[in-house]
Copies of this chain bind each other. A is one copy, B any other.
């Protein structure tokens, strides 16, 4: 059997892209190989150095690995069924949590989710540099995470993230193999980037 670990889903781009960005995608096939603490440290370091509004750093993380079976099972139990199907081999799960309110005045921070997004995107790119992959999930039971991990009211579970080495497509459930090997797609730049006025595609998009 050919090792599908070579599955190439790097982005097909109109403009050149740094390899770290080009090679990031969200696999479902993960190996059960453990991830060294040093590498996990670099992932969180990357998140830590993301930009945030007023340098609020409204990101927090709960991380569990299979070495702590009890905590891992607790985290796993928070995933929705569809995600549990392909997470059964994942060695590391984490939750990205947003601090809802500004530290300086306790008013709601409209950028809390935005900045958490910046942190997790940066973490995902560091993962590529480490030879790892991550797959973010909105499909998890947020109230259950709050309860099982004692998240305070001021903080909000936003995203679950699978972290590990890529695995074999053949090990995925039948119905998920097709998604795994399907080409990645994105809207064309002409629908995303406007120049001068809304809806007028940038000249960047028309070359």
For A, the interface residue count at a CB cutoff of 8 angstroms equals: 81
Enumerate chain B residues within 8 angstroms of A196, measured Cβ to Cβ. Answer: 62, 64, 68, 70-71, 149
Q: How far is the CA of A142 from the CA of B195 in the complex (A)?
A: 17
From residue 1 to 56 of chain A, which have CB atoms closer than 8 A to chain B?
11, 13-18, 20-22, 24-26, 37-38, 40-42, 44-51, 53-55
Enumerate chain B residues within 8 angstroms of A155, measured Cβ to Cβ. Answer: 198
Please pick, from B11, B15, B71, B203, the residue contacting A195 in the complex, using a CB distance under 8 A: B71
Q: Given A11-B49, A71-B195, A118-B120 in contact, is the A63-B111 Cβ separation under 8 Å?
A: no
- Cβ of A59 and Cβ of B204 under 8 Å apart? no
From residue 188 to 202 of chain A, which have CB atoms closer than 8 A to chain B?
189, 192-199, 202
- Cβ of A48 and Cβ of B117 under 8 Å apart? no
Q: How far is the CA of A126 from the CA of B51 in the complex (A)?
A: 14
| A 92-134 to B, binary, CB cutoff 8 A, 1 in contact else 0 | 0000000000000000001101111111111011100100000
- For residue A138, CB closer than 8 A to chain B, the reply is yes
- For residue A136, CB closer than 8 A to chain B, the reply is yes
- For residue A82, CB closer than 8 A to chain B, the reply is no
Enumerate chain B residues within 8 angstroms of A159, measured Cβ to Cβ. Answer: 114
Enumerate chain B residues within 8 angstroms of A119, measured Cβ to Cβ. Answer: 121
Enumerate chain B residues within 8 angstroms of A59, measured Cβ to Cβ. Answer: 192
- For residue A86, CB closer than 8 A to chain B, the reply is no
Q: How far is the CA of A45 from the CA of B187 in the complex (A)?
A: 11
- Cβ of A45 and Cβ of B14 under 8 Å apart? yes
Query: Which residue of A51, A120, A151, A158 has the most chain B CB atoms within 10 A of its CB atom?
Result: A51
Q: How far is the CA of A151 from the CA of B197 in the complex (A)?
A: 8
Q: Nearest chain-B residue to A54 (Cβ)? A: B138
Please pick, from B60, B115, B192, the residue contacting A194 in the complex, using a CB distance under 8 A: B60
Query: Which residue of A48, A155, A203 has the most chain B CB atoms within 10 A of its CB atom?
Result: A48
Please pick, from B18, B41, B207, the residue contacting A46 in the complex, using a CB distance under 8 A: B18
